[in-house]
Chain A
Amino acid sequence: MSTTWHIGGDVGGTFTDLIAWSPDRAAVLVKTPSTLENQADGLMHGIAEAIPAEDLAGIVEVLHGTTVATNAIIERRGALTGLVTTAGFRDVLELGRRTRPQVYGLRGSFEPHVPRWLRFEVPGRLNRHGVEQLPLDETATREAGRALRDAGVQSVAVVLLHSYANREHEDQVLAWLADELPDVPITLSADVLPEVREFERTVATVLNAYVTPNLSEYLGDLGQRVGEVTTDARVRVMQGNGGTLPVAALTGFPIRSVISGPAAGLTGAARVLSELGISSAVACDMGGTSFDVGVIEDGRPLTTNELELEYNVPIRIPTLDVRTVGAGGGSIAELDDGGLLRVGPRSAGSVPGPIWYGKGGTRFTVTDANVLAGRLRATQLGTDLAPPVSKDQIWATVQQHQPELTAAFPSPGLLADAVLRVVVATMASCVRDVTIQSGRDPRDYAIISYGGAGPLHACEIARELGVRTVVVPASPGLLSAYGCLIADLATDEIISARSALQDLDTATLGVAIQRSVARMSENLTGVEGMPTSVRALYECQFERQTHAVYVEAPLDPDPAAIEAAFLAQYRELFGGLLPSSAVMVRSVRLEARTPRRAAAGFSLGDVRTTNVAVPPDVEHWRPALADDAVVRGPTTISAPDATLFLPPDTTATVSTGGHILIEVHA
C-alpha cells in the first residue's frame, strides 16, 4: 500500500492555498495562483505540485473551500432562476427592507438575482399561525411552472408567506412544479431558512437556487478530475458554518458554501488554540485586501445569521461570525482633502500590488510601510519574487507619485510609522466593534493572528486593545487550508417554535428536535461511522422585541433552563435592567458536528514548503527555530508564508505544534 494523502485547499481570490498531509510524510504547503475561470484547474495544479505523480493514487480526501457560490452571487453569474411566491408579494426581493446603501448619499443600485418577469405569483395564503386562509391555486401554479419552463430557467425558488409556520403549501407547490419542470432543481424556503422575515428568507432561498447549477457543475467537474488520478478520493466542501460535507450532502444547499474561506480559517484557529490549551481568543486574519475578525469562545467560533454579502443581500443562514474591514497588506495610504492620513479601503490588490512587488505599483501600501520599517525582508511564498525594489526605490516612487505623502511625512521612518499606526488603529477598532457589539471585553481574550499579513501587526493590535497573549500558528499563511483539512462534518437545522416560553409545547417541540437530531446524526455518522454531537441553540427574545439572542440549552426543551440561559446572556449583552414582558422562543437551531476519523492526527507542527531557500538578511528564520526557542522583541521572525513582527517588550516562545506564543508586556 502506497502512502495515503489528505488534501486541504482554500481557493481565494488571488491564491489557492493547499496543504497535502500524509500520516507518514511531512505535510507539504503550496501556494499557487487561483484560476478564476475554473477553480478546479488551480486546485489540481496545486495538488500536482504538492504530491509526487506516483503518489496521486494515494489521495483519499480533497477537502476544500470554494468561492464559486460567493463569486456567482456577487458577479451575478449564477443560473437563470425563477421565483414562485404568494400573490401580492412577487417584489419582496426587489423591495428589500426599504433601505439605501449608505447613511449619507442618495445614489446606489441593486440588481435582483431574479428579474421581475421570472417572478410568478400564486393565489393561496396562510396566516401568522400557518393556518390556511385561502387554498393554493393549482392551475396558477402549473401555469407558472410552464411559463418558467418556456423561459428556460435552470433553477427555481419557492417562497410562500408564513411557510416557516407551515410548509404544506410549499411542499404542494414543489409537487406541482416538479411535474411541469422535471429536470430543474427547486429550492423551498422551508428547507433553506424556515424563519420569519420574508425578505431575508426570500434572499436565502433565491441565492441557493441561483448558485445550485454553478456549484453542481464545478463539483461535478472537480470530482471527475480527481477521479482521473485516483478512484478512491472523496471530495468534500467547506461550509460557512465551519464544517465540511460530502458533495452529495451539500447538494440542495450550495448557499452553505458561502464565506467558507474565512470560516475555514476560524476553524483552523480553534484547533490551534485547543492544542495550546487556550479556550477563548479573537481571531484576526489579515490578507492582501481585507482584515477579517471572528471570536472563538470555549474552543468554538461564534456563529451568526446576520452577515450581509453586499447591499441588500443579507445571508441569514447560520455561519461563523466573521466581520471584515478593508485593511490588508495592499491597502493604499493617502491624504484626504482635510490632510488626514487614510489607509484603505482602496487596495493595490495583487496586480500591480505594493510598490515593493516591482510589478508596476505606484501607490504606497501597508506592505511597503512594513518594508520601510525593516519588518518585511523575505520573499513571500507564492508571490514569485525576489524583491527587486529597494527601500530607496520605494521612497523615490512615493516622492514621485504621492508627493503630498512625502511632504507630510518627510522621512521613510516617519511615513512608515504613521501608516502602520493608522492601520493598526483601524484593525483594533474592528476588533472592538466585533467584541463590544456582542457584549465582550477584548481584554478577556487572546489574539490569534494569521493570513499573510496578520502576524506583522498582531502584537501592536494586542497592545492597543490591552490584550496580553498573542498566538501565531505554525504556517499562519495557510491556516484556511489547514482548517479545511481538520474541520468536522457539520450540518445545521432550524425548527420554528414561535411561542411564549411559559406556553411552550415542550412535548411537540421535543419530538421535532429528536426527529431532526436522528436525521442529522444518521447522515453525518453515516459518512465515517464517527459519533455525532448536537447542540441546541434557542432563539429567544422578550415579547415584541425584534432582536433575538441565541442561547444554548438542553436538547430536551426545558423552559426553566432556557429562561435561565437567556436571562444570563441578556444581562451580559444589555446590562442588568430587564424588561417585564414575557420571554419568547422563536426557533431552535440545531448544530450537528461529527469529527473526521483522520483529522485528529493532522498537525501544522511538521510541515515543509517546496522551493524556498533561506533568504539572506533575515533576523530569525522561522523554520530554523528550535522547539522551545525564546525570541524577544524588537525583532522580526521571517517565514515563507508570513513574517512575524515582535515590537519591544514582547517575548515569543516556540510552543506545542510549532505555534508561537507571544507575551505582550504592558
Chain B
Amino acid sequence: MSTTEATNAADLAIFAGAIEQICSEMDTALERAAFSPIISESVDRASGIYSSIDGGAIAQGHRGLPIFTGCMQYSVEAFLDEVTVPGERDVYMLNDPYRGGTHLMDVRLITPFHVDGELVCVLANTAHWADMGGAVAGGFGSRSTTIHEEGLRFGPTRLVRDGEVDHDVLGLVLDNVRVPEERHGDIVAQLGALEVGRRRLTALVERYGLDGFRSFADQLGHYAERLARAQFLRLKHGRYETVAWLDGDGVSSDPLRVSCAMTVADGRLAFDFAGTSPTCAGPMNSPLGASKSGVLIGIMHAFPGLLINDGTFGLVDITVPPGSFLDARYPSPVAGCASEVPARVIDAVMALLGQALPELAQGAAYSTSANLTVHGHHEGREFIMYFFAGGGYGGHAGGDGLTNACATISMAKVPPIELLEEWYPVSFARYELRPDSAGIGQHRGGLGARYELVIEADRADVSFLMERGRFAPPGIAGGGDGALTTAKVVRTDGTVELPEHVTKDQDIQLRRGDRIVVEMPGGGGFGDPGLRDPALVDRDVRAGYVGVAA
C-alpha cells in the first residue's frame, strides 16, 4: 500500500464520520421541532445525502427509521428522473408510492445541493405525518381498494421556489389533510432540517474542495462495498429458499405469500421473489422501493456494521416479479406497505441468511407494527390517536429474544401511557406483558405486550391494520412458534366483536366505555426446548412469563 493510500485509511474515516454527522444533525433538527408525536416521540423520520446522478445513498443518519433509510434513494431517483434541472434553492415534496414512496403519510422533502451553480448531490428527508386526508383518519384504512381512498398523492412538487415557500402549494396540501396546523408544523420542521444540512454540507465542501468531496464520496462507496463483501463472503455459496405469509389484504381473507430465493455467489447476494402472490385488492400492496428496502434492512439487521451506502447495496440484486403485491402499481392501495409487508420481507431475508450462515439463525421476530387508529371528536375537537404495542424478537444461539421490542422496520417508541391519556379521551385499563406469547426453545423468544384501552369520548371509531393473526412467528432449529396477534372490541354490555379479517378492519363505531383489547405476538424460539437451562425454566415460571393461565 502506498503512502497516499495509507493516509487515506485515516482521512476517509474522518470524512465518513463528518458526512454521517451532517445527516444526524438533520435528523435531530427534524425530530426536535416536529409536531406529529409519531415524528418527535417515535422518531419516524430519516435524513440523507444522495448522488445527483442516480440517487444512490452517499450517507444517511445512523438513527434514521430503517424503512425510510432503505427507501429514500428510490424517492430521490424518481425525483431526478422527473426534475431534470432543479433550481438552486428549490425544495420539492413527494409522497407518491409509485415513485419511490411508501404509504401516503410518509412525506419526502428533497432539495438539490449546488456548489458554484453546479449540482453536486441531493439532500432529502422523510417524515411520517399523522394524516394525509383520505377516507380513514390517520391513513391506516384496511378496506381501501384504490390509492384514492387512502389520501392525497403527489409526485415531485415544488414547495419552495428559490428559497420562498409557495403558499399555493402549501395551501393545497393543508386543505386536504386533517389537523392542518400540526401538519404545517411538520413541514416547517422538515424544511428546517434541510437547511441545517445545506449549511453543514457547504462547510464540508469548502473544507475538502469540490474535487476532494467527490473523490471522498466515491471512496466511501468503495469502502462500503469492501466492508459488505467481507461479510457476504462468509456465507455458504448456494441457493436458499423460504416462504413467509401475511394474513390477508383486508378485503378478502386469502393469505398473501412472500416467496424468496437467495443465491450466494462470490460475495454477492441475489434475491428473487418469484412465486410471490399477485397484486391484492386491499391495502397490503408494497411499492417496489419499500419491498427492496425490506431486503436491505434484513441484511443490515444481520450485519449491523455495514454502511448505508450505495456501495453496500450494489452487491445485492433484487428481482421482484411484475404484477406481484411486492411491486404495487397505480391504483393499488398501499397503506400497509411501510409497516407490514416489508416486515415480512425482512423475516424472509433473515431466514435465508440464517440458512447460509448458521450463526445468524434466529427465531422470527413478531414482525407486525399492529397499527391501531382511534379517531373521533371530543369536546369540540377532532383527534387521531395511533397506538402500536411491541412484540418479541426471536431466540438465537446467544440467548433469548428481546421482549416488547420495536418493529423491525423502525425504531419507533411507544408514547408514554400517561401522555396518551393526557392528549386523547382514552384510558388504559392495562398495559403489560403477555404471558405464554413467546415461542419455546433452548433460547425462547421475547414476550409480546397486551393492552386494554377504554374509550372516554362520546363518539369514536377504530381501525385495525395488523398482522400475524393467522401465521405465527416461526421458531427455528426445534424452537416453538410465537403466539398469534389477537384484537377485539368489547362493548359495555360485554359483547365481543372481532375485526372482520382477524387483524384488519376499519371504522368500527365506538361509544364511551367500549374497550379495545390487543395481544401481541412473542418471537419464535431457538433450539430444542428440552435443552433449556433449568434455572431459566424456573425463572420463567416464577415470573409468569410461561405456564401461568392469565
Contact = CB atoms under 8 A, between A and B. Distances in A.
Contacts of B230: 337-338
A579 B183 CA distance: 10
B495 interface: no
A88 B432 contact: yes
A92 B408 CA distance: 21
Nearest to B302: A105
Given A98-B405, A337-B226, A547-B40, A421 B418 contact: no
B422 A574 contact: no
A631 interface: no
Contacts of B14: 421-422, 425
A426 B15 CA distance: 11
B398 A107 contact: yes
Given A91-B433, A100-B406, A117-B542, A197 B416 contact: yes
Interface in B302-354: 304-306, 350
Interface in B152-201: 181-182, 184-185, 188-189, 191-192, 195
Contact-size category for A: 35 or more
B9 interface: yes
Given A90-B432, A95-B433, A574-B33, A116 B544 contact: yes
A405 to B, nearest CB: 10
A313 to B, nearest CB: 15
Contacts of B40: 545-547
A60 to B, nearest CB: 46
A108 B21 CA distance: 25
Contact of A436 (B28, B388, B390): B28
Given A99-B411, A104-B304, A94 B403 contact: yes
B208 interface: no
A110 B13 contact: no
Contact of B413 (A99, A161, A436, A545): A99
A426 B449 contact: no
Interface stretch (A250-258, A388-396, A406-414): A406-414
B10 interface: yes
Interface string A112-138: 000111000000000110000100000
Contacts of B306: 104
A52 interface: no
Contacts of B547: none
B418 A436 contact: no
A2 interface: no
A265 B423 CA distance: 41
B13 A341 contact: yes
Contacts of A142: none
A197 B402 contact: no
A102 to B, nearest CB: 6
Interface in B399-416: 399-400, 402-406, 408, 411-416
A130 to B, nearest CB: 11
Contacts of A92: 431
Given A106-B393, A127-B421, A425 B181 contact: no
A215 B10 CA distance: 45
A414 B3 contact: yes
B37 A579 contact: no
Interface string B407-449: 0100111111111011100011111110000000000000001
Contact of B6 (A91, A127, A409): A409
Interface string A427-467: 00100110011000000000000000000000000000000
B390 A95 contact: yes
Most buried by B among A338, A418, A426, A577: A338
Given A88-B428, A103-B63, A337-B227, A197 B418 contact: yes
A518 interface: no
Contacts of A87: 430
Interface string A76-98: 00000000000111111011111
A161 B433 CA distance: 17
A408 B195 contact: no
A530 interface: no
Nearest to B428: A88
Interface string A186-209: 000000000011111000000000
A94 B419 contact: no
A102 B63 CA distance: 9
A422 B10 contact: yes
Contacts of A95: 390, 403-404, 431-433, 449
A104 B16 CA distance: 18
B92 interface: no
B367 to A, nearest CB: 10
B304 A574 contact: no
A585 B288 CA distance: 45
A91 B432 contact: yes
A386 B393 CA distance: 52
Nearest to A337: B230
B406 A107 contact: no
A64 interface: no
A580 interface: yes
A162 interface: yes
Most buried by B among A91, A110, A340, A414: A340
A575 interface: yes
B402 A109 contact: yes
Interface string B213-227: 000000000011111
Given A340-B9, A409-B6, A128 B421 contact: yes
A277 interface: no
A378 B192 CA distance: 50
Given A106-B393, A433-B21, A115 B543 contact: yes
B372 interface: no
A338 B63 contact: no
B300 A104 contact: yes
Given A89-B431, A338-B226, A579-B181, A106 B362 contact: yes
Given A91-B432, A96-B404, A340-B16, 10 more contacts: A98-B406, A99-B411, A100-B402, A106-B362, A106-B393, A196-B422, A338-B230, A433-B21, A573-B33, A581-B181
List the 3 closest A-B pairs by CB distance, nearest first.
A88-B430, A338-B227, A98-B390
Interface of A: 87-92, 94-100, 102-110, 115-117, 127-128, 133, 161-162, 164, 196-200, 335-342, 407-410, 414, 417-419, 421-422, 425-426, 429, 432-433, 436-437, 498, 542, 544-547, 573-575, 577, 579-581
18 contacts: A91-B432, A97-B413, A98-B449, A99-B406, A99-B413, A104-B306, A105-B304, A106-B405, A107-B396, A116-B544, A162-B418, A197-B419, A336-B227, A338-B223, A338-B227, A340-B223, A573-B33, A581-B185
